[in-house]
Amino acid sequence: MNNPSSDQKPTESSASGGLFFLFGLAVVAVFTWFAFTSISPAHLPINVSSAPQSKGIDQLIWLVHLLMAVLFIGWLLYFFYTIFRFRKERNPKADYVGVRSHASTWLEGIVAIIEGVLLVGFAIPIWANASYNFPQEKDSTVIKVIAQQFKWNGWYTSINGKFAKQDRHFVSPDNPFGLDKTDPNFKDNFFVSSDLVVPINKPVLAYVSSLDVIHCFKVNPLRVTQDAIPGMVIPAHFTPAQLGTYQINCAQLCGNAHYAMHGTLKVVSAEDYAKWVADHTKSGGGAGGGYE
Amino acid sequence: MQASTHTDSHSHDAHGGHDHHEPGFWQKYIFSTDHKVIGIQYGITSLMFLFFGFLLMLCMRWQMANPGQPIPVVGSWLHAILGDEMVAKDAQGRVGVMMPDLYNSFGAMHGTIMVFLAIVPLAFGAFGNFVTPLQIGACDMTFPRINMVSYQCYFLGGVLMLASFFIPGGAAKSGWTSYSPLATVAGGGHHPDGQTFWLIGMVALITSSLLGAVNFITTIIQLRAKGLTWMRMPFFVWAQFVTGFLLLLAFPPLEAAGVLQLADNMLGTSFFLPTGLVVSGQPMHVSGGGSPLLWQHLFWFLGHPEVYVLILPGMGIVTEIIANNTRKPIWGYRSLVYAIMGIGFLSFIVWAHHMYLTGMGTKISTFFQTTTMMISIPSVIILTALFISLWGGSMRFNTPMLFALAFLPMFGVGGLTGLPLGFNASDIFLHDTYYVIAHFHYVVAPGTIFALFAGIYYWYPKATGRMMNEFWGRVHFGLSFIFMNLVFMPMFIQGMEGMSRRMYDGGASYAAAAGSTGLGAFVIGLNKNITYAAFGLGLAQIPFIINFFWSITKGKKVTSDNPWHATTLEWQTPTPPPHGNFDKEIEVFRGPYEYSVPGAPTDYTTQNEPDKQAPLTHGNPVRS
């Protein structure tokens, strides 16, 4: 044996080793099953956007998880076979060199190549679509989404599609967005709070900003997420392709009522949308009465 | 804990006459400059913070599982301590309901405490201090007094963080990331507020890390024993060395940023506050012109290397224990060393992957996701090398080995689930969901914390001269393993279904309602399962806590200085090691993991074994 000088062996308990090993195997079998039902893109919520990036997001999530599953199952199979085969009771003398093959280097190379393919083939083009290929304003429903503690303001225009001017000098308690009420476009603008409405099958161009702290505009079924950062106006776009009402999440801690800062985004038909806009322009009579 | 052999081994100690009088209690245990005592101070303090941080989360988990219900027993204590502002009554008048501000405070402090007061000080402060000088054959750190001050700064930071719970307005509540402008406005009317304490506490903690880092780097460069070349260093020492550089180079930006945010909060500056802020309907009276994103950049420039500060020492510990208990050399030692250096460099250029959704263009995000994918390669290399090291071993499954083995697949889950977060496109959906929480907890909890437990069981006999109880160690491992997974695995489901993190009501506000999409009853119901499992995880630590303290005086005594038959130098000291560590000249002749060397008389050949008794190999076994 290779342990002649074992004057004491405080750590060994060979008899219970095998039992413990079996117990471990059972635990891990359960664990593996658990892992693969948990970390599965099958749990993704419905995707109702037809913007070029949104299907890609789901595809990429599936492909990455496929890669993860293959690697993880491979590791686990190897891991348990190794623990079984090279336990002390079965293999009393260790091999000084161990694995002689270089298969692992190839494996690492293959993983790197797959990551590269996912990067170039999916992640970068999807991102370019989401953050760069914006629809033209004239072809889109343009909304300014202004977050504040703890609600979502939607700033719309009715006929001419032009927004009134904003300046911080106009900011007052009854004019938190600092609108220039003398601007001729002001009459065509209106505001809604927390419940936004957009028409179906037309790109939505949302200019996302915030009045106070950082929020994040996130609508899961539309696969759109954009931080709302004070001092910045950041565009985001999506194309709703299914009627319905979808929740707007605030996805950035924004204060003590962060958990309750949800809004809704209602997707309606083009006719309903036109009616909704007309109603708001008429009843609001300009932005002054529209918000709060 | 280590007084027993102090005096007798002292007389023939060769290094200097500075300590020929017996130090008193204060000097020996409180104001000690001995790296081992400081290591143990770090260890005990950080373990207490680890448990405290866990308890904070347990309160939060109760609230998430049972929104608006008073916390049993603890709720009334919290009310007595923190008052009506933080703990309210429910509809039936029962006291003990956590308020949203308290939930956010506990959340921010859970993160802060776990990262900066528990894991880093345990991994780097405790293990680094206790083990590193022993493993390199040094008599102490290069700067023992700086080492002492490092612990004192850490302690001060911890006291400030704890004190902040009791001030008006409570502790910091803007997340462990403390994003501006929220961190500036969240205090309400309170000046100073919890955030002030948080920032000053962070300055103390970062100062502590800096002093520690300088000391570790210098010690590892200067004080290695004769013959301990770089490629003969145990991997644990490499891990501490790289960690030292991360701490040295990544933490100062946050120290500076902390001072700037402090000025924003207290002196009316606008480093991180943009023009035109309107808070609660009122224009905010600040000059503006600052950038909230600047804070995020400075924070994550620390924050991402920080992730590797959390994991690298854990990898080092696991490597030591796997080599020891497979009784064979680590496979690909050199590739491990190069990989850990690669991680060290790359970890400085991935930080903005935490900021994909801040309006980043394609070019910048391509850069950061490419570097993020690149850093996954050395991580895979390390994990693969450790997996391969098992092949051909003669494995003993003692408690340290069980924790070390479990680290591999658990860190695997954590690492792999980083991939869909690292690709910016899939992050569009997964951003801010529970998937993120599950991912980084798999890295740190069943990853790093398991490695740290492994290290505690493994080096305990060196520190105390006694073994921890093996049976209860296994119980601790088995239960922790099961409950860890029951806590964190369901979070992947919650995240994939779109549940956001940091929800006071556990996502109930986002439940699917008539006519709108949202979270299903199943995912919200998982909050209850997770809470039960978290409670079980807490109970599973009781055997550990009792075992830890009981074994100091009652554990089985070790009968040799090298109870695990290990090769590295820390086992060549008397047990426990006296002040000055070694009672003989240490010279190193071989690599760190010379187990089962063909032709050697025993299955381990210690690093200081002279040439004659075993064939000499330089560092790593040579293979073609």
Environment class of residue B516 by beta-carbon count within 10 Å: exposed (0-12), middle (13-18) or buried (19+)? middle
Q: Is residue B27 part of a domain?
A: no
Contact in structure between B323 and B329 (CB atoms under 8 Å): yes
**CA dihedral of residues A245, A250, A256, A259 (deg, nearest 10):** 50
Q: What is the DSSP string of B601-620?
A: SSSB--TT--GGGS----SS
Look at residue B263 in the predicted model and tell me its pLDDT: 94
Q: Do the Cβ atoms of B428 and A27 come within 8 Å?
A: no
Look at residue A58 in the predicted model and tell me its pLDDT: 95
Cα A150 to its chain centre, rounded Å, is 20
Q: Who among A43, A83, A245 is closest to B496 (CB)?
A: A43
Q: Is residue A279 part of a domain?
A: yes
State whether B376 and B297 are in the same domain.
Answer: yes
Q: Do the Cβ atoms of A119 and B370 come within 8 Å?
A: yes
State whether B450 and B584 are in the same domain.
Answer: no
Q: Which residue has the higher pLDDT, A90 or B233?
A: B233
Q: Is residue A21 part of a domain?
A: yes
Q: How far is B47 from chain A (nearest CA, A)?
A: 24
Look at residue B13 in the predicted model and tell me its pLDDT: 42
Domain that holds residue B315: 291-557
Q: What is the DSSP string of B133-195?
A: HHHTT-SS-S-HHHHHHHHHHHHHHHHHHHHGGGSTT-B--STTTT-TTHHHHTTTT-SS-HH
Distance CA B402, CA B18 (A): 42
Q: Is residue B194 part of a domain?
A: no
Distance CA B121, CA B130 (A): 12
Residue linked to tokens 């490629």: B231
Contact in structure between A163 and A176 (CB atoms under 8 Å): no
Q: Who among B293, B388, B515 is closest to A104 (CB)?
A: B388
User: Which chain B residues touch A45 with a CB distance below 8 Å?
Assistant: 497-498, 517
State whether B449 and B398 are in the same domain.
Answer: yes
**CA dihedral of residues B447, B449, B452, B453 (deg, nearest 10):** -110
Q: Is the peptide bond before A45 cis (omega within 30 degrees of 0)?
A: no
In this predicted structure, the answer to whether residue B230 has a pLDDT above a threshold of 80 is yes
State whether A198 and A156 are in the same domain.
Answer: yes
Q: What does the longest C-alpha to C-alpha distance in chain A come to?
A: 96
State whether A42 and A153 are in the same domain.
Answer: no
Look at residue B612 in the predicted model and tell me its pLDDT: 56
In this predicted structure, the answer to whether residue B620 has a pLDDT above a threshold of 90 is no
Q: Do the Cβ atoms of A75 and B417 come within 8 Å?
A: no
Q: Read off the pTM.
A: 0.92
State whether B382 and B529 are in the same domain.
Answer: yes
> Parallel, antiparallel, or unpaired for β A195-199 and A263-268?
parallel
**Mean pLDDT over the full length of chain B:** 91
Distance CA B280, CA B303 (A): 31
Identify the band that residue B526 occupies on the pLDDT scale cut at 50, 70 and 90: very high
- Find residues 303-322 of chain B whose CB sits inside 8 Å of chain A: none
State whether A31 and A120 are in the same domain.
Answer: yes
Contact in structure between A238 and A223 (CB atoms under 8 Å): yes
User: Which chain A residues touch B489 with a CB distance below 8 Å?
Assistant: 31, 34-35, 38-39
State whether B342 and B354 are in the same domain.
Answer: yes
**CA dihedral of residues B134, A97, B407, B427 (deg, nearest 10):** 120
Distance CA A169, CA B48 (A): 52
Look at residue A290 in the predicted model and tell me its pLDDT: 41
Any idea what DSSP says for residue A4?
Answer: T
State whether B519 and B609 are in the same domain.
Answer: no
Q: Who among A86, A107, A124 is closest to B391 (CB)?
A: A86
Helices B399-416 and B292-326 meet at what angle, rounded to 10? 140
- Find residues 203-262 of chain B whose CB sits inside 8 Å of chain A: none
Percent of chain B with pLDDT over 70: 94
Look at residue A282 in the predicted model and tell me its pLDDT: 67
Region of poorest pLDDT, from B209-223, B510-524, B570-584: B510-524
Distance CA B175, CA B536 (A): 26
The nearest alpha carbon in chain A to B564 belongs to A11
pLDDT in tens, B66-76: 999 999 999 99
Q: Is residue B447 part of a domain?
A: yes
Of A252, A265, A253, the closest CA to residue A220 belongs to A265
Q: Domain of B408: which CATH number?
A: 1.20.210.10
In this predicted structure, the answer to whether residue B229 has a pLDDT above a threshold of 80 is yes
Q: Is the peptide bond before B576 cis (omega within 30 degrees of 0)?
A: yes
Q: How far is A93 from chain B (nearest CA, A)?
A: 6
State whether A175 and A76 are in the same domain.
Answer: no
Contact in structure between B415 and B378 (CB atoms under 8 Å): no
pLDDT in tens, B531-590: 999 999 999 999 999 999 999 999 999 999 999 999 999 999 998 999 889 988 899 999
State whether A31 and A151 are in the same domain.
Answer: no
Q: How far is A138 from chain B (nearest CA, A)?
A: 22
Of B137, B69, B152, the closest CA to residue B572 belongs to B137
Q: Which amino acid is at B438?
A: A
Q: Is residue B17 part of a domain?
A: no
Interchain contact B390–A (C-beta under 8 A): yes
Percent of chain B with pLDDT over 90: 83
State whether A150 and A269 are in the same domain.
Answer: yes
Helices B235-266 and B194-222 meet at what angle, rounded to 10? 150
Interchain contact A101–B (C-beta under 8 A): no
State whether B592 and B542 are in the same domain.
Answer: no
Identify the band that residue B24 occupies on the pLDDT scale cut at 50, 70 and 90: confident
Q: What is the DSSP string of B446-482?
A: IIIIHHHHHHHHHHHHHHHSBPPPHHHHHHHHHHHHH
Q: What's the structural domain count of chain B?
A: 2
Choose from A25, A34, A72, A95 for mutation: most chain B CBs within 10 A. A95
In this predicted structure, the answer to whether residue B175 has a pLDDT above a threshold of 80 is yes
Domain that holds residue A198: 139-289
Look at residue B117 in the predicted model and tell me its pLDDT: 97
Look at residue B10 in the predicted model and tell me its pLDDT: 41
Give the HSE-up count for residue A59: Cα atoms under 13 Å, Cβ half-sphere: 12
Q: Domain of A243: which CATH number?
A: 2.60.40.420
Q: Do the Cβ atoms of B565 and A3 come within 8 Å?
A: yes
- Find residues 151-170 of chain A whose CB sits inside 8 Å of chain B: 168
State whether A115 and A200 are in the same domain.
Answer: no
SS3 of B507, please? Answer: coil
Interchain contact A40–B (C-beta under 8 A): yes
Q: Do the Cβ atoms of B278 and A171 come within 8 Å?
A: yes
Interchain contact B137–A (C-beta under 8 A): no
SS3 of A49, please? Answer: strand
Interchain contact A114–B (C-beta under 8 A): no
Look at residue B16 in the predicted model and tell me its pLDDT: 42
- Which whole number is the average pLDDT over B25-49? 91
Of A39, A40, A64, A57, the closest CA to residue A218 belongs to A57
In this predicted structure, the answer to whether residue B100 has a pLDDT above a threshold of 60 is yes
In this predicted structure, the answer to whether residue B285 has a pLDDT above a threshold of 60 is yes
Q: Is residue B514 part of a domain?
A: yes
Q: Number of Cβ pairs closer than 8 Å across A and B?
A: 365
For residue B116, CA distances in Å to A55, B209, B302, B370, B560 come to 40, 9, 12, 28, 36
State whether A145 and A274 are in the same domain.
Answer: yes
Q: Is residue B257 part of a domain?
A: no
The nearest alpha carbon in chain A to B359 belongs to A234
Distance CA A175, CA A181 (A): 9
Distance CA B193, CA B174 (A): 12
State whether A154 and A277 are in the same domain.
Answer: yes
Contact in structure between B360 and A131 (CB atoms under 8 Å): yes
Distance CA B383, CA B330 (A): 12
Distance CA B578, CA B460 (A): 15
Q: How far is B432 from chain A (nearest CA, A)?
A: 6
Q: Do the Cβ atoms of B470 and A10 come within 8 Å?
A: yes
Q: Do the Cβ atoms of A225 and B380 come within 8 Å?
A: no
Residue linked to tokens 């309160």: B59
Look at residue A17 in the predicted model and tell me its pLDDT: 58
State whether A283 and A144 are in the same domain.
Answer: yes
The 10 Å Cβ neighbour count of residue A34 is: 16
Look at residue A16 in the predicted model and tell me its pLDDT: 53
Interchain contact B279–A (C-beta under 8 A): yes
Last residue of a domain, one of B557, B572, B606: B557
State whether B591 and B611 are in the same domain.
Answer: yes
Q: Who among B433, B595, B623 is closest to A94 (CB)?
A: B595
Helices B470-496 and B521-540 meet at what angle, rounded to 10? 160
B134 is written with which tokens?
């022993």
Q: Which amino acid is at B365?
A: S
- Which whole number is the average pLDDT over B456-478? 95
Q: Do the Cβ atoms of A79 and B390 come within 8 Å?
A: yes
Distance CA B396, CA B373 (A): 35
Distance CA A216, CA B91 (A): 32
Contact in structure between B444 and B503 (CB atoms under 8 Å): no
Look at residue A89 in the predicted model and tell me its pLDDT: 85
pLDDT in tens, A32-78: 788 888 888 999 999 999 988 999 999 999 999 999 999 998 898 89
In this predicted structure, the answer to whether residue B6 has a pLDDT above a threshold of 80 is no
Q: Which residues of chain A have pLDDT under 50?
A: 1-15, 285-292
Interchain contact B369–A (C-beta under 8 A): yes
State whether B490 and B582 are in the same domain.
Answer: no
The nearest alpha carbon in chain B to A18 belongs to B397
Distance CA B92, CA B493 (A): 34
State whether B553 and B568 are in the same domain.
Answer: no
For residue A63, CA distances in Å to A144, B493, B496 come to 34, 17, 15
Cα-Cα end-to-end distance for chain A = 83
Of A176, A155, A150, A288, the closest CA to residue B278 belongs to A176
Q: What's the structural domain count of chain A?
A: 2
User: Which chain B residues touch A47 with a CB distance below 8 Å?
Assistant: none
